[in-house]
């Protein structure tokens, strides 16, 4: 089952403390204290080391310029905790690291807890952005599980694809994280564990959020570590080749779904060293609707191909576009905002 009491807390960060390796070598946390309209402070307990002794590193995705359709919906929230316990695909603000296209997967960094040196552990990358948020009195949106006593939040990290005893908390659209609203821009911090799976089951049912395949799955450690032996990558090449969504025509000139109006399209580029057969592949929009790619379609090395997506319409209110392979695994995904979609007749470019 997914984590309980899932939601997002809108607040103002005021201070933090953290545990070094000397303080707690097993389960250290960074405690972020924050305020809202209620009296007193509440606390976010942020993991800064994995409890998985086989690989205790974290994965972090630091987004210094966060542009995603979720932002517009967050800014309208009142301060305080907002339950998202029943959130799913249709939610406008629930987080899902795999399905939400919140970041480029390859930009993640595998980081230990507390080691000597600069910019080489999780504390080195977390503290500067939190310091800036406190200094500038920014609004912060903290995703995770509400404490039973109501005085804080935890599970501020990826909550799917976990192995062994942690698998009981796996679910979709129940991921944690930090999104920060400054006066002139947004930033985001997303945290996972090295041992979590890169691909998880969509569901429904008990398999939702569980690693896929059930055994021998690709972890963030293997996906991001260039030193991973080739034998540990076998079986995952197709889902993790550099096949990218590079462009989309979201808002053609003219009224939607009218004769003579240009079709909405998605352009895919092959940055791998092999011709890729797209038979069985599909494109999924933010509402879960799918456009199957033509049987026999191929994309050559360094080639781009454009496909119409009538069965997966692209919303003019902002959304996501995801490329899935024949096994239904995510190959690449992008997002665009409502502001982007207002550009009628303009191809959106995704770098």
How does pLDDT run across 322-339, given as a tens digit for each residue? Answer: 999 999 999 999 999 999
Give the pLDDT band of residue 231 (cuts 50, 70, 90). Answer: low
Instruction: State residue 331's pLDDT score.
Output: 93
Mean pLDDT, to the nearest integer, of 310-318?
A: 95
pTM exceeds 0.85: yes
Give the pLDDT band of residue 161 (cuts 50, 70, 90). Answer: very high
Instruction: State residue 240's pLDDT score.
Output: 55
Give the pLDDT band of residue 259 (cuts 50, 70, 90). Answer: low
Mean pLDDT, to the nearest integer, of 223-250?
A: 69
pLDDT mean across residues, the chain: 92
Instruction: State residue 228's pLDDT score.
Output: 54
DSSP string, 149-212: TSSEEE--S--SS--GGGGGG--SS---EEEEE-SS-EEEEEEEETTSBSSB---SSTTTTSBS
The string of pLDDT tens digits covering residues 163-200 is 999 999 999 999 999 999 999 999 999 999 999 999 99
pLDDT at 90 over 70: no
Degrees, nearest 5: CA angle 300-302-303 = 55
pLDDT at 149 over 90: no
Mean pLDDT, to the nearest integer, of 196-210?
A: 90
Q: On the CB side of 27, how many CA atoms lie within 13 Å of its CA? A: 4
Closest C-alpha among 336, 28, 44 to residue 178: 44
- 3-class secondary structure, 299: strand
The string of pLDDT tens digits covering residues 113-139 is 999 999 999 999 999 999 999 999 999
pLDDT at 266 over 60: yes
Mean pLDDT, to the nearest integer, of 57-81?
A: 95
Closest C-alpha among 18, 32, 198 to residue 114: 18
Greater pLDDT, 326 or 351: 326
pLDDT at 233 over 80: no
If 0-12 CB within 10 Å is exposed, 13-18 middle and 19+ buried, where does residue 302 land? Answer: exposed
Cα–Cα distance for residue pair 130/142, rounded to 1 Å: 12
Instruction: State residue 88's pLDDT score.
Output: 74
User: 283, 312 in Cβ contact below 8 A?
Assistant: yes
Give the pLDDT band of residue 260 (cuts 50, 70, 90). Answer: low
User: 79, 200 in Cβ contact below 8 A?
Assistant: no
Enter the DSSP assignment of 338: H
The string of pLDDT tens digits covering residues 15-68 is 999 999 999 999 999 999 999 999 999 999 999 999 998 899 999 999 999 999
pLDDT at 238 over 80: no
pLDDT at 157 over 90: yes
Q: Map out the domains of the chain with their CATH numbers.
A: 6-232 (no CATH), 238-349 (2.60.40.1260)
User: 122, 37 in Cβ contact below 8 A?
Assistant: no
Residue with tokens 């989309």: 248
The string of pLDDT tens digits covering residues 284-310 is 999 999 999 999 999 999 999 999 999
- 3-class secondary structure, 35: strand
pLDDT at 343 over 80: yes
Instruction: State residue 284's pLDDT score.
Output: 97
């Amino acid at each position: 089952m997914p984590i309980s009491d899932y939601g997002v807390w809108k607040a103002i960060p005021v201070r933090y403390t953290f545990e070094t390796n000397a303080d707690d070598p097993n389960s250290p946390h960074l405690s972020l204290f924050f305020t809202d309209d209620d009296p007193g402070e509440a606390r976010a307990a942020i993991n800064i080391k994995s409890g998985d002794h086989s690989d205790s590193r974290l994965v972090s995705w630091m987004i210094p310029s966060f542009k995603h359709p979720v932002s517009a919906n967050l800014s309208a929230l009142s301060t305080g905790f907002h339950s998202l316990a029943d959130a799913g695909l249709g939610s406008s603000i629930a987080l899902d690291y795999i399905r939400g296209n919140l970041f480029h997967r390859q930009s993640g960094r595998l980081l230990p807890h507390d080691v000597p040196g600069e910019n080489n552990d999780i504390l080195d990358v977390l503290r500067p952005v939190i310091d800036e948020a406190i200094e500038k009195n920014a609004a912060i949106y903290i995703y995770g599980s509400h404490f039973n006593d109501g005085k804080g939040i935890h599970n501020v990290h990826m909550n799917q694809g976990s192995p062994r005893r942690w698998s009981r908390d796996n679910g979709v659209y129940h991921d944690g994280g930090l999104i920060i609203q400054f006066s002139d821009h947004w930033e985001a911090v997303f945290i996972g564990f090295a041992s979590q799976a890169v691909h998880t089951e969509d569901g429904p049912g008990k398999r939702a959020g569980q690693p896929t395949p059930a055994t021998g799955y690709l972890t963030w450690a293997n996906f991001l570590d260039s030193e991973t032996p080739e034998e540990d990558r076998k079986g995952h090449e197709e889902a993790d080749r550099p096949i990218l969504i590079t462009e989309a025509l979201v808002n053609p000139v003219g009224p939607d779904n009218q004769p003579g109006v240009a079709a909405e399209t998605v352009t895919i580029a092959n940055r791998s060293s092999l011709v890729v057969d797209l038979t069985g592949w599909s494109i999924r929009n933010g509402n879960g609707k799918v456009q199957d790619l033509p049987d026999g379609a191929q994309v050559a090395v360094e080639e781009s191909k454009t496909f119409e997506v009538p069965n997966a319409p692209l919303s003019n209110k902002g959304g996501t576009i995801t490329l899935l392979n024949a096994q239904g695994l995510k190959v690449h995904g992008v997002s665009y905002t409502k502001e982007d979609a207002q550009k009628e007749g303009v191809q959106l470019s995704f770098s």
